[in-house]
Structure 1
Amino acid sequence: MPLESFRQLMRGIQGRLSIFDGNLQSSQQIAFFRQMQKELKQESALHTKLDQLSVVVFDIETTGFYPDLGDEIISIGAVRVCNGKMNDEEVFYSLVRYEQELPLEIEKLTGITSSELKEAKPLSEVLIAFFEFVQNATLVAHHAKHEKSFLQNASWKLFRTPFKHRIVDTSFLYRIAEREHRMSRLEDLCEYNGIKVIARHHALGDAKLTAQLWCIYIEKLKTLGCKNLHDVYERLSRL
């Protein structure tokens, strides 16, 4: 889909968002998501050089770990990485409407309040804005199973559309590059690689920390002979 046509479609969708209930999505929204999935260029990403891959590194904060049991997304943060470098000026961040009272432990962990979430945009609107930001970039997340499960659930629940974006897990990279270590927490990996841990458990803050790890580890993998994601997946299969 040409970029200008994409933008026109987005403007049309966003102009109608306010008249739809959060659980009853418009035919335009559903059409957008289905078209987006068709336009994804998944295979080309496999063979693009790691430091030339167009990447959006993202993170979500949620009310819990189980979307099938009613846990919900409360914020999404993302930053773009181009040519192996994080671009601080190309970021996405949004709170997501949550009508219930936020569990106290989540409020303390994230710094997000229930009153803020009640004034936020609904998830359907936030997701459309997020994917407009992403477009055809490859998604990257730290321990991506969490993000993938929530996006799969939301994509089907809101738009009756399967979620088909590839999400590259940063664990794929450090499992190859740091085979002698057993690190998994984001803060541990950051400290090991000399990255100052700032704004932990904030969706955009965690996305930026993960983006810095991505940039470091693609350089480490290049020295090990991994040129692209195909090489990464092939090396992982031998671990």
Structure 2
Amino acid sequence: MKEQKGVGRMWQLYKMGGVTPAIASMLGAQNAQQMAFIRSMTKEQRKQSMLDEPLKEMEVVVFDLETTGFYPYNGDEILSFGAVLLRGKELYPDRTFYSLVNPKRRVPKHITELTGISNEMVADAPDLMQVLHDFMEFCGKRLLIAHGLGHDKQFLNAALWKTSKVNLTHRLLDTMMIAKWLNPHRESYGLDELLETEKIKVTQRHHALKDSLMQAELWLLYLNRILERNITTLGDLYAYLSKH
């Protein structure tokens, strides 16, 4: 109970005066600054409108998370972040982000078998606040794209709330939704099946960065098909997706 009261007091102090000496004392100076950056990033993002930007010129970040399970509000945690930057039809393979995260809990055996991430690997990894700060800095105000976005969005929101008491405010796109719109009669829209259909080389699955790179290739294929349909802006694309 004392800890909960302390956390409540910390947020009350923050709302009154930002990163005060009292906040810095509670969190540590570095964590306090990271929290302030994350909060300012989401606040600025609310003002940012990119609906009229041409898709063929837009900078986007394709990202992926690996996690200990499916339930961030029931004890599951993020294990790794991966992301890659694209501008229009160009992928920048040297502009990537990858980091393990110390989940402060045991990694289940079946998750280690799936992802290759072991307890030993994450023991010395940076904590969530540090990696989340670095990831948000990499993403900037850009559109975020993922495949099966619901899972990643849920974990990102849980992480943002846990560390900084904010929610994700970035514009988002789900390549699974785009696949369903472009190919409405498919039986499966899983990433493995789509990579096989589109003849995208599978390097390593369930690795956050390598999945991001493969998903980026998928997005580029879909972007060409979107532009061929004379859909040129993000607002146009949102409008079409909302009807399907």
What TM-score do the two structures reach when normalised by structure 1?
Answer: 0.86
Aligned partner of 2:173 among 168, 174, 191: 168
Q: In structure 1, what residue type is equivalent to 2:232?
A: K
The 2-side partners of 1:29 and 1:96 are apart by: 16
Equivalent residue for 1:69? 74
RMSD value, Cα: 2.1
Q: Which runs of 4+ in 1 moved over 3 A?
A: 19-22, 24-27, 41-44
Kindly provide the CA deviation profile for residues 174-211 of structure 1, in whole angstroms up to 9, marking residues without a partner as x: 12211232331111111111101111100001101110
Contact persistence 2:73–2:158 (CA under 8 A): yes
**How far apart are the structure 2 equivalents of 1:80 and 1:237?**
26
Match of 2:127 in 1: 122
User: What are the within-5 Å matches in structure 2 for residues 120-199 of structure 1?
Assistant: 120-199=125-204
* Count of paired positions: 221
The match for 2:59 among 30, 54, 63 is 54
Structure 2 matches for 1:20-31, cutoff 5 A?
26-31=31-36
Task: Among all aligned residue pairs of Structure 1 and Structure 2, give the percentage whose two residues are the same amino acid.
Answer: 39
- Higher radius of gyration, 1 or 2: 2
Unaligned runs of 5+ in 2: 1-18, 20-24
Query: The residue matched to 2:144 in structure 1 has which SS?
Result: strand
Q: CA deviation at 1:38?
A: 2.5
Worse-matched range after superposition: 111-120 or 224-233: 224-233
Q: Which residue of 2 aligns with 1:4?
A: none
TM-score (normalizing by structure 2) = 0.84
Question: Is 1:20–1:26's contact at 8 Å kept on the other side of the alignment?
Answer: no
**Aligned-partner residue type, residue 128 of structure 1:** H
Partner SS for 2:96: strand
- Structure 1 residues 92 and 207: CA distance shift in structure 2, 3 A: same
Partner SS for 2:104:
coil
Gaps of 5+ in 1: 1-12, 14-18
Q: CA deviation at 1:41?
A: 6.5
The whole-number CA distance in structure 2 between the counterparts of 1:90 and 1:58 is: 12
Q: Is residue 103 of structure 1 aligned with residue 108 of structure 2?
A: yes
